[in-house]
Copies of this chain bind each other. A is one copy, B any other.
Amino acid sequence: MIDALYIDEMIRNALKEDMPLGDITTDNTIPENTQTKASLIAKESGIIAGLDVSRRVFEILDSSIAFDAKIKDGQYVEKGQLIAEISGNARAMLKGERTALNFLQRMSGIATKTNAFVEKIRGLHATVVDTRKTTPGLRYIEKYAVKVGGGSNHRFCLSDGVMIKDNHIKAAGGIKQAIEMARKGIPHTIKIEVETETIEQVKEAVDSKADIIMLDNMDNETMKKAVEYIDGRALTEASGNVSMDTIYEIALTGVDIISIGSLTHSVKAFDISMKIL
């Protein structure tokens, strides 16, 4: 699902970052051709993401390593559950351990966090999406982890989605003008989203045929009015410090989409250990 074209260079760089000159402990204490086995074990419960990335870490170090995943990305594991078995050259396994876990733990942390939000509003209309508040260099795999956790993706970057904010509106001379200027300059395959903070702005955005209207930092009552006013003429997105405490009420307003920066900017690494046998 994640193509080697995209991740091999990222993994190679991560491995070189962690051992620019070999692993001086392992290279000096473990005989060159020692074979061993290891298990990846969940040390808490949650959703796993990043198995392909972990596998590639070991494969890049030694193409003969066997990485036998016991589950698939997106699956829920219980604390103590076996995630994967790895067997092959001991040196390569010790060298890859930390890098493989750094990827897997971060991605699983994102998937697990996303899933918690998704579950919290299960049955309601809204979709949980991410933002551009990702770790520099890891956006692709972090957005992938959000999807694995049951969320959806917002635009990937500044080049593939339009988000008209305050400053664009001022510079353009109004929401209508900004939308028109954008529409003229972008591919016809891309929608236009406008950020609004008041009902008045919402009305102007609807009048200007915005495809998506972000309701930014509105209280739930205002948000509900906005959704009612828009009435399907545009997609609606709730935004602004959404938390596990607030998401349910937000979803009840009827918005289509709830975007959550903390899915990727404030992540607890999912606890996984690699036991070498």
- C-alpha gap A39/B92 in the complex (Å): 32
- C-alpha gap A168/B172 in the complex (Å): 40
The stretch of A74-82, A152-160, A201-209, A220-228 in contact with B is A152-160
Chain B residue contacts of A256, Cβ below 8 A: 188
Number of A residues, CB within 8 Å of B: 100
- C-alpha gap A95/B3 in the complex (Å): 11
The stretch of A5-13, A114-122, A246-254 in contact with B is A5-13
Cβ contact of A171, chosen from B90, B235, B262, cutoff 8 A: B90
Any B CB within 8 A of the CB of A30: yes
Known: A90-B171, A137-B137. 14 other contacts (CB 8 A): A6-B21, A14-B136, A20-B20, A21-B140, A21-B156, A25-B162, A29-B181, A30-B167, A30-B168, A90-B167, A95-B158, A127-B188, A188-B257, A267-B267
- C-alpha gap A25/B32 in the complex (Å): 34
The 3 lowest CB-CB distance pairs between A and B, nearest first, are: A28-B185, A14-B136, A161-B189
Q: Tell whether A98 pairs with B133 under 8 Å between CB atoms, given A19-B157, A159-B22.
A: yes
Closest to A133 in B: B102
Q: Give chain A's interface residues, CB within 8 Å of chain B.
A: 1, 3, 5-6, 10-32, 34, 36, 60-61, 90, 94-95, 98-99, 101-103, 105-106, 109, 127, 129, 132-140, 147, 152-169, 171-172, 178, 181-182, 184-191, 193, 211-212, 235, 237, 256-257, 261-262, 265-269, 276
Chain B residue contacts of A171, Cβ below 8 A: 29-31, 34, 90
Whether the pair B138, A137 counts as a contact (CB closer than 8 A) is yes
- C-alpha gap A86/B155 in the complex (Å): 27
Closest to A183 in B: B28
Whether the pair B5, A12 counts as a contact (CB closer than 8 A) is yes
